[in-house]
Amino acid sequence: MSGELVLVTGGSGFLGVHCILALLKAGYRVRTTVRSSRREADVLAMVKVGGVEPGDTLSFARADLTADAGWPEAAVGCRYVLHVASPFPPGVPKHEDELIVPAREGALRVLRAARDAGVERVVLTSSFAAIGYGQTPIPGRPFTEENWTDLSAKVSAYVKSKTLAERAAWDFVAGQGGALELAVVNPVGIFGPVLGPDHSTSTEFIRRLLDGEMPGLPRMVFGVVDVRDVAELHLRAMTNPAAKGERFLAISGDFMTVPEIAQTLKARLGDAASRVTTRVLPDWLVRFVGLFDKEAAQVVTELGKARNATGAKAKRLLGWASRSREEALVATGESLIRLGLLKKAK
């Protein structure tokens, strides 16, 4: 382990920078890709907020998921690759290919570069989106790594992009990967300590709740996991022989309803959560708004669905453990407060 070089794609992202922190703390050297050299200072700042002074153990490579240039140079000399980078827009793309093409083709670019550079194993960050959508949840039967999202059903562009990208990765390794090994991590909603102003869609949801920007709560459920635990799972999947050729759901406990998340914030953050609403919106109202609002339309198909999943496989095969759902949510709020990313109280 000492001094071995690991490539992390998308180091300026919420999960990417936490993976960098976990690797540096474990004694690895890290090279991370950024689309623009302007993002290097942002990554360094977030790493320092995370408590690490990287010195010469962190370096940068310029590469973009939509182009071939830079990927061979980024992978050279690396023993492992964590392919974390993937588009996840806050809004709805004009065309689904804006998400699908860079996700799928970007994964293949990284895998080709890794194979050609003699990388031992790639850990791909996929998503629960590739597991539990396009099908009706069965009460008492949580989704596992054996499940795949059904793309013949109506699903969002993001769900489709994650599913197609992961499918393409498995097909590539099986047919053209040579000695390259692949493991996949499928997180649910990722929360936890924010390290800078450019965070994630999941943590932006918490910010909107805390800033009172949500007039009501849809009757939905989703999974919660702490970003620090997802990063730790990537490291375990990177080195554990049992992870070769396997998928791992990253989830902490059962899915939570949106009202349960709001109540957790109010109970644990006190005055800082005074703007959080507890009003639950009726389904008909969310559907009506969805007729005019594309973002609202994305959640309509999920209203009232009692979806659930289990992370037992990661615990059993890799000895992975996770923080509680509540700790992940509270850590998100506390970091947003600490970094001054919430509106100031009147």
pLDDT digits 0-9 by tens, 37-74: 999 999 999 999 999 999 999 999 999 999 999 999 99
Contact 15, 123 (CB under 8 A): no
Which pLDDT belongs to residue 290? 72
Give the Cα separation of 31 and 231 in Å (integer). Answer: 16
Contact 90, 201 (CB under 8 A): yes
Beta strands in the chain (DSSP E): 5-9, 29-34, 58-62, 80-83, 121-125, 181-187, 189-191, 221-222, 224-226, 247-250, 256-257
Closest residue by Cα to residue 36 from 228, 238, 200, 198:
198
Which pLDDT belongs to residue 298? 67
Q: How far is CA 345 from CA 211, 270, 271, in A?
A: 9, 13, 10
| Dihedral Cα 278, 279, 284, 286, nearest 10 deg | -60
Contact 16, 10 (CB under 8 A): yes
Total length of the chain:
346
Positive/negative CA dihedral, 126, 164, 5, 66: negative
Which pLDDT belongs to residue 288? 85
Which pLDDT belongs to residue 346? 45
Locate 205 and state its tokens.
């949801």
Helix (H) or strand (E) holding 326: helix 325-338
Which domains does the chain show, CATH number per domain? 5-193+224-252+309-324 (3.40.50.720)
Give the Cα separation of 280 and 265 in Å (integer). Answer: 15
Which pLDDT belongs to residue 45? 97
Residue 330 C-beta-side C-alpha neighbours within 13 Å:
12
Asked if pLDDT for residue 5 goes beyond 50, the answer is yes
Asked if pLDDT for residue 279 goes beyond 80, the answer is yes
Give the Cα separation of 32 and 20 in Å (integer). Answer: 8
Contact 114, 47 (CB under 8 A): no
Q: Mean pLDDT throughout 316-345?
A: 94
Asked if pLDDT for residue 206 goes beyond 50, the answer is yes
**pTM, full prediction:** 0.95
Q: What are phi and psi of 87, to 5 degrees?
A: -70, 135
Asked if pLDDT for residue 292 goes beyond 80, the answer is no
Q: Which residues lie across from 122 on neighbouring strands?
A: 81, 182
Beta strands in 87-209 (DSSP E): 121-125, 181-187, 189-191
Report the DSSP pairing between strands 221-222 and 256-257: antiparallel
Pick 91 or 128 by higher pLDDT.
128
Closest residue by Cα to residue 251 from 325, 140, 148, 147:
325
Grade residue 32 by pLDDT with cuts at 50, 70 and 90.
very high
Which pLDDT belongs to residue 302? 75
Which pLDDT belongs to residue 295? 66
pLDDT digits (tens, 9 = 90+) for 129-180: 999 999 888 888 999 999 999 999 988 888 999 999 999 999 999 999 999 9
Give the Cα separation of 33 and 9 in Å (integer). Answer: 5
Catalytic residue numbers read: 162
- Mean pLDDT, the chain, as a whole number? 93
Pick 116 or 91 by higher pLDDT.
116
Q: Which residues lie across from 226 on neighbouring strands?
A: 191
